């Protein structure tokens, strides 16, 4: 059950441990939209005595504050008494997963938290007992199917069973310190970067982040940082082009390679003479 109402902005509290931090630039953009066309989507709150706790819509709430609004449109949720906290957390997670602006780290965190909340609400899905039994296998399969259905039905992500499992494994592989340091950085945007870090132990993760996140980063990529930690020099731009050219040249058919050789005939002839290859 829920009800819609205009409530005072000053009465809304934002609980700790929110899944996403507020992006001030996006909040400012929303604020301008609010002034121009008004609020289109209510925020979600739950009553807490004479005040309210935010469940979903932190950016909209911040936008209202920036627009100097005294009141904001809200949907007041009435969760069931049993598992109320987990139910509200589930609502927040699904509201975030339904949006397309999550970065890779946020999506991994949301899916990991969704798994935790789902298991809290449905404890029978946790592993245990005879893991070889058909019932245990069915529980594991049903859990992923239900999680997948929650947001694939909204046609916003299309994540597969494998993608869900990988995202959760990546988040669990990142140390808490690494997750915090990655927030707001370009490395939080790409899942491939997150996976590369998650495959390392916590101590190495910290050393890699020291190299790529400093004021004057010593490494441009995670791969470069690992080379430095191994005592080797990272690849230069020329090194990367050369490696790519060598890799791709060998993949060309003979006729394709002949075209390349003819295009560089002068350099090749000069190299052959200088190296004395015809004298061998």
Q: By mean pLDDT, which of 122-126, 201-205, 267-271 is the weakest?
A: 122-126
**How many angstroms separate the CA atoms of 156 and 159, rounded?**
9
Contact 260, 245 (CB under 8 A): no
Q: For position 9, what pLDDT does the model report?
A: 93
Bridge-based pairing of strands 2-8 and 51-56 is unpaired
Q: Tokens 């940082």 correspond to what residue?
A: 225
* HSE-up of residue 18 (Cα within 13 Å, Cβ side): 16
What is the phi-psi region of residue 155: left when phi exceeds 0, alpha when psi lies from -120 to 50, beta otherwise?
left
Q: What are phi and psi of 72, to 5 degrees?
A: -140, 145
Q: For position 266, what pLDDT does the model report?
A: 92
Q: How confident is the model at residue 137 (pLDDT cuts 50, 70, 90)?
A: low
Contact 74, 4 (CB under 8 A): yes
Contact 121, 80 (CB under 8 A): no
- Of 87, 6, 19, 94, which Cα lies nearest the Cα of 58? 19
Contact 12, 56 (CB under 8 A): no
What residue ranges do the domains of the chain occupy?
Answer: 2-78, 82-173, 179-234, 244-279
Express each pLDDT in 142-165 by its tens digit.
555 555 445 443 344 456 777 888
Q: For position 190, what pLDDT does the model report?
A: 92
Decide: pTM greater than 0.95.
no
**How many angstroms separate the CA atoms of 72 and 30, rounded?**
13
Express each pLDDT in 190-214 by its tens digit.
999 999 999 999 999 999 999 999 8
What CATH code would you report for 2-78? 3.90.1530.10
Q: What percent of the chain has pLDDT over 70?
A: 77
Q: Summarize the confidence of residues 2-16 as an average pLDDT.
A: 87
**How many angstroms separate the CA atoms of 44 and 53, rounded?**
9
**How many angstroms separate the CA atoms of 169 and 78, rounded?**
33
* HSE-up of residue 249 (Cα within 13 Å, Cβ side): 11
Express each pLDDT in 236-266 by its tens digit.
888 889 989 999 998 999 999 999 999 999 9
Contact 94, 151 (CB under 8 A): yes
Q: For position 185, what pLDDT does the model report?
A: 92
């Amino acid at each position: 059950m829920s009800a819609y109402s205009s409530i005072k902005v000053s009465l809304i509290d934002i609980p700790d441990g929110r899944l996403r931090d507020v992006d001030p630039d996006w909040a400012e953009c929303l604020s301008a939209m609010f002034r121009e066309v008004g609020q289109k989507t209510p925020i979600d709150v739950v009553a807490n005595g004479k005040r309210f706790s935010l469940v979903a819509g932190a950016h909209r709430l911040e936008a209202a504050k920036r627009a100097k609004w005294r009141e904001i449109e809200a949907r007041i949720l009435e969760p069931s008494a049993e598992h109320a906290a987990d139910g509200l957390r589930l609502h927040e997670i699904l509201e975030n997963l339904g949006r397309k602006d999550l970065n890779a780290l946020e999506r991994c965190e949301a899916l990991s938290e969704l798994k935790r909340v789902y298991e809290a609400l449905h404890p029978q899905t946790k592993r245990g007992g005879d893991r070889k039994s058909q019932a245990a296998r069915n529980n594991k399969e049903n859990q992923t199917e239900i999680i997948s259905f929650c947001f694939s039905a909204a046609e916003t992500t299309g994540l597969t069973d494998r993608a869900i499992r990988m995202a959760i494994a990546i988040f669990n592989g990142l140390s808490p310190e690494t997750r915090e340091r990655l927030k707001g950085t370009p490395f939080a945007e790409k899942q491939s970067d997150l996976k590369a870090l998650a495959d390392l132990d916590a101590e190495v993760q910290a050393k890699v982040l020291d190299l790529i996140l400093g004021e004057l980063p010593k490494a441009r990529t995670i791969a470069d940082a690992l080379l430095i930690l191994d005592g080797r020099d990272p690849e230069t731009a020329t090194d990367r082009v050369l490696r790519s050219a060598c890799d791709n040249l060998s993949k060309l058919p003979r006729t394709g390679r002949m075209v390349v050789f003819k295009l560089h005939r002068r350099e090749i002839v000069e190299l052959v003479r200088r190296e004395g290859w015809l004298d061998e």
